């Protein structure tokens, strides 16, 4: 049979059947002894005063918060984290795209079409023409894009993959396209 603890305001759960009678008596003695702990006067008021200021001010729906509300508040509360994650993602994607672009440029450059023209039998015969070509290339170096294109042509010439005449024609066409053909 359960007993009411008047001081603490609860009903004590009865002991299970397997408890011997003498142990039930000890349990009852404990119940009497422990009610002697005195609760300070005014404790309830002090506890209430200390805690009531933190009572929620926002009205909670009768059925509790909806899933959408919880999702929204949690999303807002973690907004900074989401923002940081987005920025990080943008940085990673941007870096990857830049890297991919550079790689494709290098790939295109290395696979640039080679001239099918026959190679020059000897380089010594074209020494004077080579000096002229070098001077032209130096002149073209004012424009970075033209200089790069000219560089590729010069490399082809150095590898003896194109003839001097072809190199001259290519450079002339390039200078004309840049508006510098009159100076050649």
Partner 1 sequence: MPSGSPIDRDGEDIGEHLRQAAHGDEQAWRAIVRMYHARVFGLIRSQCGDPDLAEEITQSVFCTIVTKIGSYTEQGKFESWLFRIATNRLRDEMRRRKRQARPVEMDTLGALANEASKEERLMGRGGAGRAVDHPEEGASDRELGALRDAMSKLSEADQMIVHLRHLAGLKFNQMAEVLGEPMGTVLARHHRALKKLKELMEQGGVRDGEE
Q: Which two tokens stand for residue 150?
A: 């000219």
Q: Does 176 bind partner 1 (CB under 8 A)?
A: no
Among 1, 16, 80, 182, binds partner 1 (CB under 8 A): 16
Q: Does 68 bind partner 1 (CB under 8 A)?
A: no
Q: Which range in 35-43, 95-103, 113-121, 158-166 contacts partner 1 by CB under 8 A?
A: 35-43
Q: Which range in 46-54, 119-127, 138-146, 156-164 contacts partner 1 by CB under 8 A?
A: 46-54
Q: Which range in 15-23, 108-116, 118-126, 146-154 contacts partner 1 by CB under 8 A?
A: 15-23
Residues facing residue 10 across a β-bridge: 5
Of 34 and 145, nearer to partner 1 (C-beta) is 34
Q: Is 178 exposed, middle or buried (0-12, 13-18, 19+ CB in 10 A)?
A: middle
Among 40, 113, 116, 179, binds partner 1 (CB under 8 A): 40
Q: Which two tokens stand for residue 76?
A: 């807002």
Element holding 19 (H helix, E strand): none
Among 1, 17, 55, 122, binds partner 1 (CB under 8 A): 55
Residues facing residue 11 across a β-bridge: 4
Across 33-96, the runs of DSSP E, i.e. the strands, are none
Task: Give CA–CA dist 148/152, Å, rounded.
Answer: 6
Phi, psi of 42 (to 5 degrees): 80, 5
Footprint on this chain of partner 1 (rule: CB under 8 A): 5-13, 16, 18-19, 22-23, 26-27, 29-40, 43-44, 46-48, 50-52, 54-60, 62, 64
């Amino acid at each position: 049979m359960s007993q009411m603890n008047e001081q603490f305001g609860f009903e004590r759960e009865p002991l299970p059947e397997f408890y011997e009678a003498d142990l039930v008596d000890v349990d009852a003695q404990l119940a009497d002894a422990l009610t002697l702990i005195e609760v300070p006067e005014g404790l309830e008021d002090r506890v209430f005063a200390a805690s009531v200021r933190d009572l929620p001010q926002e009205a909670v729906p009768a059925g509790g918060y909806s899933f959408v509300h919880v999702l929204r508040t949690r999303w807002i509360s973690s907004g900074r984290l989401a923002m940081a994650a987005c920025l990080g993602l943008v940085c990673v994607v941007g870096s990857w795209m830049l890297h991919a672009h550079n790689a494709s440029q290098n790939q295109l450059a290395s696979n640039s079409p080679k001239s099918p023209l026959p190679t020059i039998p000897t380089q010594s015969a074209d020494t004077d023409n080579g000096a002229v070509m070098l001077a032209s290339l130096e002149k073209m170096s004012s424009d970075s894009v033209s200089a790069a294109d000219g560089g590729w042509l010069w490399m082809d010439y150095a590898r003896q993959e194109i003839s001097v005449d072809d190199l001259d024609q290519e450079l002339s066409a390039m200078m004309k396209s840049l508006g510098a053909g009159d100076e050649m």
